[in-house]
Amino acid sequence: MKPAEGKLGVMCVGLGAVTTTFMTGVLMARKGLAKPVGSMTQYDKMRVGRGADKKYLHYGDIISLAKLTDIEFAAWDVYPANAYESAVNAEVLKAKDILPVEDELRAIKPMPAAFDKHYAARLDGDNVKQCATRWDMVEQLREDIRRFKAEKNLNRVVVIWAASTEIYVPVDMNVHDTMAHLEAAMKANDTEHIAPSMCYAYAALAEGAPFIMGAPNTTVDIPAMWEMAEKTKMPIAGKDFKTGQTLVKSGFAPIIGTRCLGLAGWFSTNILGNRDGLVLDEPANFRTKEVSKLSTLESILVPEEQPDLYTDYYHKVRINYYPPRNDNKEGWDNIDIFGWMGYPMQIKINFLCRDSILAAPLLLDLVLLSDAAARDGRYGIQRFLSFFLKSPMHDYTHDEVPVNHLFQQYVMLKNAIREMGGYEADEEID
C-alpha cells in the first residue's frame, strides 16, 4: 500500500445535517475538543496473526490511514448556506460543539449543485448549476474537483454522496449496461435514465477519486459504472448508510437464524423530520429507500436453506415524515417469531436514535477506508465496506447474493484490512 502522504480532500454531495455533523465532529476531534465515537477506524481493534504472533491492533496500526489533520472539506448543495449556517439550521449539535470551529465551517461554502428537481421534488434551492446536458453536468463537476484539488494542494480526493434520496431509477440494460451506452445517454441528455448522482459518480471516477454512494440511489449499482471503476482503477462503494433500523435488523436477524427460530413477519416503521425525511415523504423517493431496506432480511433468513422456518414470512417497511422529531429518528420493529412446536412469540424494538450522530462516523470510516483501498490498488466494488452500508453492492448480473449479515460483513472488513496490511486473511464466513 502506498502511504497516506499529503492532504486528502473530502468532497461531500449535500451539506445538510449528516454532512455538517460529520465535518464539525472531525474539526472538533482534531482540536481535541470531541471524541469520534462510533468510528471503527478510530476505535476498533482487530486481531492479526495467530498463536505466538497474535496481537490486537487499531486499523491505523495495520494499514496507513489518512490523519484527521490532513483532511480538507468541500461540498455541493442546492442551498447556498455555508457549513456553519447549515450546522446551526440542522439543529443536531449544540452551540458549544459548533462555535469552537465556526471559522473553519464558515469557510466551507457549497459549490452549486448538479441538480434536477424531477429527482427530488421536495427540494427547491437555487444554488444549482445551469447545464445544457448531463454530459455538461459531468464536465462542470470534473472542473470543481480539479479546482478544489489545486486550490488546497491535495494529494488525493474522495467523493461521497450524503445528499437526499433520488427517485427510483430502474436499471435499463439499454443504457446502464456499458460505459459507451452511459456516455452516449449523457451526451444525448437522457434525463430519464441518467440521474444527477450518476454524473457525480462518473466525474469523481474520471478525476481519479473513489466514489461512495450514501443513499439507496441506483447510481453506481449498474454495470456501466462498474466498467468505469475498472477502467479508472478506482474503488466504488454503496449503497445507503446503515444507521438505525437496518443496523438493528442486520444484527438482530442473525440471532433468530442462529437460534433456529422461525419468522412469521417483521414490520418496521420510522418517523423522521429532517431534510431526508421531507424528501422521502414523496412516494417516488420513498420507493428507492424501500427497495434498499427490504433487501436486508432475505439474504440472512433464507427460505431455501430453512423452509420450515422462513417460508412466506411477511416483511413490511414504512417511513413517515414527522417534522417535530427533526433529526431524532425513531424506529419501531415488531417481529413475530415462532419456536418449539410452532408456538408464537413476539419481539418489539424501539430505537430512539439520532440519524446524523449515527451516520457521521460512517462517513469518516468509508472515506478513510476507500482512500486506503485506492492506495492499495483495489478498484471496482468494495464489498468489504458493506459493513457500513444498508444495501451492499453486488454483481446481480451473475446472480451474486449480497452479504447482509452484520457479523459476516465484519469478517469481510477485517480480512480486507489484514490483506492490505500484509497479513493473512485468516477468518472464514461460515
**pLDDT per position as a tens digit, 239-266:** 999 998 889 999 999 999 999 999 999 9
Q: Are strands 330-338 and 344-352 parallel, antiparallel or unpaired?
A: antiparallel
Residue 292: predicted pLDDT: 62
Residue 333: predicted pLDDT: 96
What's the predicted TM-score (pTM) here?
0.94
- pLDDT single digits (tens) 112-145: 999 999 999 889 999 999 999 999 999 999 999 9
Residue 294: predicted pLDDT: 67
Domains 8-241+356-420 and 245-354 share a fold: no
- What's the CATH class of domain 245-354? alpha beta
Q: Is 93 exposed, middle or buried (0-12, 13-18, 19+ CB in 10 A)?
A: buried
414 phi and psi, to 5 degrees? -65, -40
The domain segmentation of the chain, as residue ranges, is 8-241+356-420, 245-354
Contact between residue 90 and residue 20 where contact means Cβ atoms under 8 Å apart: yes
Spans in the chain with pLDDT lower than 70: 288-290, 292-294
Q: At what angle do helices 355-375 and 406-420 cross, to 10 degrees?
A: 30
- pLDDT single digits (tens) 373-405: 999 999 999 999 999 999 999 999 999 999 999
- What's the CATH class of domain 8-241+356-420? alpha beta
Residue 66: predicted pLDDT: 98
The CA-atom distances, in angstroms, between 402 and each of 211, 259, 395 are 19, 22, 8
Residue 285: predicted pLDDT: 75
